[in-house]
């Protein structure tokens, strides 16, 4: 697709992978709106890319509906939704509470669903659209302490496959992106300290891969891809 002039909405766009994606899209000439829960980082990102920002919680239905409506009202259309908002929680099964699991699913699964649903309404109406869902390599294989996070990304992959089959007839491309470990604050916030390494992935690698996938002529697309560090050891 032609990214110059395209209208994009990036959730979780105030930091990390979301910020890198927003900056990469803006660098290609897209008109980008970033969405997240905290105003200060969103404002900083938006100012840096001459874009817009929306404070909202993807897991709140009113916020999700309002965010998509706001972008469409501003630009008259929506071409790209990047479902990036999410967080991690790494705990043994026997130590996890139902409230913790429900809270994570509210953002990682239900939030992605709400944003995708609202974007899909606009995509169908205009006969085109790009839905990019940021999953994880944790969605491809279960592992200890990943009951909440891993299963949420398995769920996102499952929903994405259903949406892909449903929306292809409307010229909507649904892509799943599975990053491996990326050097952001994600792990620390999830309770796992990781040593920083120049060999591991940066958010920019994920953003570059997404830009490349989006630039493929619209008659074809990459349904799913993973991004690994070449030699992280």
Paired strand residues for 7: 31
The per-residue pLDDT of the chain, averaged, comes to: 95
**CA-CA-CA-CA dihedral for 151, 180, 131, 214, to nearest 10:** -160
pTM: 0.95
Active site residues: 149
Q: Residue 185's pLDDT is what?
A: 75
Q: At 118, is the pLDDT very low, low, confident or very high (cuts 50, 70, 90)? A: very high
31/16 Cα distance (integer angstroms): 19
What average pLDDT does the segment 103-109 reach? 98
Fold (CATH) for 7-227? Rossmann fold (3.40.50)
Residues 6+ apart with CB under 8 A from 97: none
User: Pairing between strand 129-134 and 172-179?
Assistant: parallel
Q: Residue 222's pLDDT is what?
A: 97
What average pLDDT does the segment 46-73 reach? 98
What average pLDDT does the segment 155-175 reach? 98
The answer on pLDDT for 184 being more than 80 is no
Percent of the chain at pLDDT exceeding 90: 92
Q: Residue 192's pLDDT is what?
A: 65
pLDDT tens readout for residues 7-38: 999 999 999 999 999 999 999 999 999 999 99
- Please report which residue ranges of the chain form alpha helices under DSSP H: 16-27, 39-49, 61-75, 98-105, 112-126, 147-167, 186-190, 203-214
Q: Residue 187's pLDDT is what?
A: 61
pLDDT tens readout for residues 122-150: 999 999 999 999 999 999 999 999 999 99
Domain ranges in the chain are 7-227
Q: Residue 189's pLDDT is what?
A: 65
pLDDT tens readout for residues 196-212: 788 899 999 999 999 99
What average pLDDT does the segment 218-232 reach? 96
């Amino acid at each position: 697709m032609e990214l110059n002039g395209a209208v994009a909405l990036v959730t979780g766009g105030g930091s990390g992978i979301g910020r890198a994606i927003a900056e990469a899209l803006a660098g290609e000439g897209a008109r980008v709106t970033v969405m997240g829960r905290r105003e200060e980082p969103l404002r900083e990102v938006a100012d840096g890319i001459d874009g817009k920002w929306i404070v909202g919680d993807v897991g709140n239905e009113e916020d999700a509906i309002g965010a998509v409506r706001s972008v469409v009202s501003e630009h008259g259309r929506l071409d790209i939704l990047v479902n990036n908002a999410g967080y991690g929680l790494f705990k043994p099964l026997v130590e996890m509470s139902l409230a913790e699991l429900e809270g994570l699913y509210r953002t990682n699964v239900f939030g992605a669903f709400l944003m995708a649903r609202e974007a899909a309404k606009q995509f169908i109406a205009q006969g085109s659209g790009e839905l990019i869902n940021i999953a994880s390599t944790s969605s491809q294989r279960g592992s200890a302490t990943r009951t909440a996070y891993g299963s949420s990304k398995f769920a996102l992959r499952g929903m994405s496959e259903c949406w892909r089959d449903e929306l292809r007839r409307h010229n909507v491309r649904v892509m799943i992106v599975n990053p491996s470990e990326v050097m952001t604050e994600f792990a620390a916030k999830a309770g796992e300290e990781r040593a920083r390494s120049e060999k591991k992935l940066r958010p920019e690698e994920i953003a570059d891969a997404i830009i490349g996938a989006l630039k493929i002529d619209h008659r074809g697309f990459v349904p799913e891809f993973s991004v690994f560090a070449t030699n992280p050891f």
